[in-house]
Amino acid sequence: MHRSELTVDLGAVRQNVRTLLHALDGSELWAVVKADGYGHGASDIAGAALGAGATALCVASVGEGLALRRDFGGARIVVMGPATTNRDVAHARDAGLELVVSDTDIPPGVRVHLKLDTGMGRWGLSELPVPPVEVVGLMSHLATADTDSAYADWQIERFRQATHGFSHLTRHIANSAAALRYPAARFDAARCGIALYGISPFNTDPAEDGLRPALAWRSYLAQVRLLQPGESTGYGRRFVATVPTWVGIVPVGYADGFRRDMTGTEVLVDGEPRRAVGTVSMDAFAVELDRERPVGTPVTIVGDGLLIERHAAQAETIGYEIACGVNSSPARASRHVTGG
Ligand SMILES: *Cc1c(COP(=O)(O)O)cnc(C)c1O
């Protein structure tokens, strides 16, 4: 038996694409598949998203773009991060990737999106130059689409004013949160990542926005033991039994993406919610059981109704970070794709 099993449901991805297209009401949907498709597998997600109506792929680096180019010969691929070296630019040109440029130094012979900083305070020009012929798009990025609507509205308005005279170029500012909840942010295209995977950009239940999680992560009880009062499990003796307590050991740890700060979160033991207890180690964590369970009992870490958002809340982070952290290396987990 594998230590754990990852299942990616492409049917859910296609449904999420349709939900986003509906919300976008005519604007294009560009599928953001950086960081190996937020841990889900970039190529599989890209294929499903393009098949369901997305019209471009977005990644963070030229390397990610080149890897996708092998599987998607004709697709538009936009590299959102800065292409810093001449070598990157040459590779992008040869592979027909589009680049995002945040200064006035525009490389020749490659299609470019100019990035305007409307308030993210990270990459971007503070003012648009007259765009040379290489420029096909104008973009910006929202800092608070998931938290502060007044600031997001202000950024959207700044973008609208700054790009007003350039309606012949593709203008794009929306991420998932804005695509779902800010009609004014739609412009010509939206760059959506997290929602494709059925994870909430708002760290709430994705069903509120009509999204369906694509990832399931399952393992099993590899060891079951009865702790007597005063006995503990794991490093540092963080969990000490006060009454006789059954615990199960799951062969998944922080090297697999089950982070140390997920102690206290829930997993499903044969469908029943049970608490992860004690210190998470590199290759295992413990779960408190209500009774003796056989070795081999299935444990769901994500899926079957248990949301990544639940773990994110426990770890005081966002679903994005949990998803990107899942280790899908075949040396650690088996991976399956359904609905393809
Ligand atoms: C990652 C990223 C996105 C996608 O954001 P989501 O919240 O995952 O939809 C969009 N635009 C840029 C510039 C990004 O870096």
User: Which structural domains are found in the chain, ordered by start?
Assistant: 10-197 (3.20.20.10), 215-338 (2.40.37.10)
Is the CB–ligand 1 distance for residue 179 below 6 Å?
Answer: no
Instruction: Tell me how far the alpha carbon of residue 250 lies from the centroid of ligand 1, in angstroms.
Output: 33
| Contact between residue 65 and residue 75 where contact means Cβ atoms under 8 Å apart | no
User: Residue 146 carries which side chain, given as an amino acid letter?
Assistant: D
- Residue 235 annotated as catalytic: yes
Is the CB–ligand 1 distance for residue 141 below 6 Å?
Answer: yes
Q: Is the pLDDT of residue 236 over 90?
A: yes
**3-state SS assignment for residue 257:** coil
Instruction: Tell me how far the alpha carbon of residue 301 lies from the centroid of ligand 1, in angstroms.
Output: 26
Alpha carbon distance 180, 171 (integer Å) = 17
Is the CB–ligand 1 distance for residue 32 below 6 Å?
Answer: yes
Alpha carbon distance 316, 230 (integer Å) = 30
Mutation test residue for ligand 1: of 13, 64, 175, 200, the one with most atoms within 8 Å of CB: 175
Mutation test residue for ligand 1: of 13, 61, 80, the one with most atoms within 8 Å of CB: 80
pLDDT tens-digit map of 117-161: 999 888 888 888 888 888 999 999 999 988 899 999 999 999 999
Q: Is the pLDDT of residue 103 over 90?
A: no
- Provide the pLDDT for residue 151: 94
| Contact between residue 210 and residue 176 where contact means Cβ atoms under 8 Å apart | no
Strands 232-233 and 239-240: antiparallel
Q: Which residue owns the Cα nearest ligand 1 atom 6?
A: 193
Of 105, 109, 81, nearest in space to 94 by CA: 109
Is the CB–ligand 1 distance for residue 40 below 6 Å?
Answer: no
| Contact between residue 39 and residue 323 where contact means Cβ atoms under 8 Å apart | yes
| Contact between residue 183 and residue 25 where contact means Cβ atoms under 8 Å apart | yes
Q: What is the mean predicted confidence (pLDDT) over 61-75?
A: 97
* Burial (CB count <10 Å: 0-12, 13-18, 19+), residue 78: buried
Is the CB–ligand 1 distance for residue 31 below 6 Å?
Answer: no
Strands 245-250 and 285-288: antiparallel
Q: Residue 183, Cβ neighbours under 10 Å: how many?
A: 14
Give me the residues paired with residue 101 across strands. 114
Instruction: Tell me how far the alpha carbon of residue 192 lies from the centroid of ligand 1, in angstroms.
Output: 6
Q: What is the mean predicted confidence (pLDDT) over 33-37?
A: 98
Pair of tokens at residue 110: 């490659």
- Provide the pLDDT for residue 340: 79
- Provide the pLDDT for residue 180: 96
Question: Which atom in ligand 1 lies closest to the alpha carbon of residue 146?
Answer: 7
pLDDT tens-digit map of 154-166: 999 999 999 999 9
**3-state SS assignment for residue 287:** strand
pLDDT averaged over every residue in the chain: 96
Question: Which atom in ligand 1 lies closest to the alpha carbon of residue 320?
Answer: 8
Alpha carbon distance 30, 172 (integer Å) = 10
Is the CB–ligand 1 distance for residue 113 below 6 Å?
Answer: no
Alpha carbon distance 198, 212 (integer Å) = 4
